[in-house]
Amino acid sequence: MTTDTTAAGRALTLLSDDEEMFQESVHDFAVERIRPHVFAMDRDATMKKELIEAFFELGIMGVEVPDKWGGAGGTFFTAVLVVEELSHVDASCGVLVDVQNTLVNNALLRWGNEDQRSKYLPMLAKNTVGAYALSETGSGSDAFALSCKAENKGDHWVLNGQKLWITNAAEAGVFIVFANANPDAGYKGITAFIVERDFPGFSVGKKEDKLGIRASSTCELIFEECRVPKQNVLGEAGKGYKIAIETLNEGRIGIGAQMIGVARGALEHTIAYTKQRKQFGRPIADFQAVQFQLAQAATELEAARLMVYNAARLKDAGKPFVKEAAMAKLFSSQVCERVTSLAVQLFGGNGYTKEYPVEKFWRDSKVGQIYEGTSNMQLQTIAKIVITEKL
């Protein structure tokens, strides 16, 4: 990799040599192994199985999983760097790895008991994709308005209902599923379960045909008298709302990493294009109007990167990070949409065609303002905190 002298780049010198080598390996992998397949995967809305296998071989599906369970034993910050490097080539690959690390693995690491971690973390680090199932038809921003129900049968639980918009569902073998075991208690009845793909009564339904991140699977989940062993309750019964909230707080930093990766990829392609594209006998990069737009985009991207990195470091340090995570997701998704839109604009007519890569970056950008908490929900979170603390 070339030397990065930006503030964000200088911050990376805080990484150990092993971590920096890990990041470079992921960068090279993304460029050499993923980039040749991006167009076809987007067109066909399918993730190449060989790439998923390679993610496991590279060690990026269990970044924070300790060595004793087959993981890389890294930090949350390292996972964020991995997601950024993948997303700067393909956001679909970025989100697959992001959900695995920041949601599924993190939930098990923090809330799983020793038996659960010993069983599932080695699978998730070695060869099993994970998914996180919270959303439903009537449960989006109102995350706890769950209609999926869980009934305690003594030695097992029975789940009934549906989930929608579940990332990684087509490939996943393990699902973290939230259902209400006591609707009369409201959100305090919500319980988290570890569901395996082959559990009786569980099936994966329709796959969504999406605008962006098309190679990433987004599917419906169906539970029809799905039998779940009693030992597969994650954490405590009735504490699922706490698991969901705290895991999503971490996951939002991962979404921020996706967004800065997408913006960075679009900007890199655009800068290269403006040096080649000529109008009035000169490269358009020579025109001050273009230079100023690129400068503004680079400045906003730098600010977004630093916000994402700061939130990740706070999380690793065990310090409060909820406000910073919400700010990072909010701002990085806004920046990503602006930068990718500028990329299409500066490519002109070419930018509006699938022959060039920037239209895909633009399509991939929009979801950052929607999933794992809409921009309005991030503003609500930020507002609640800033009005009660010193700025």
Which residues are catalytically annotated? 372
Q: Phi, psi at residue 172, to the nearest 5°?
A: -70, 150
Give the span between the Cα atoms of 373 and 381, in whole angstroms: 10
Angstrom distance (rounded) from CA 333 to CA 327:
10
| CA distance linking residue 47 with residue 45, whole number of Å | 7
Rounded CA-CA distance 1/107 in Å is 33
Residue 216 CB contacts under 8 Å (≥ 6 apart), including other chains: 47, 91, 92, 95, 96, 167, 168
Rounded to whole angstroms, the maximal C-alpha distance in the chain is 78
Secondary-structure percent of the chain, ordered helix, strand, coil, rounded to 5? 60, 15, 25
| Sequence-separated (6 or more) residues with CB below 8 Å from residue 181 | 149, 150, 151, 152, 157, 189, 190, 191, 237, 238
Positive or negative, the CA dihedral 47, 50, 54, 56 is positive
Q: Region of 337 please: left (phi>0), alpha (psi -120 to 50) or beta.
A: alpha
CA 57 – CA 289 distance, rounded (Å): 46
Burial of 278 (0-12, 13-18, 19+ CB in 10 A): exposed
For residue 19, which phi and psi values (nearest 5 degrees)? -65, -40
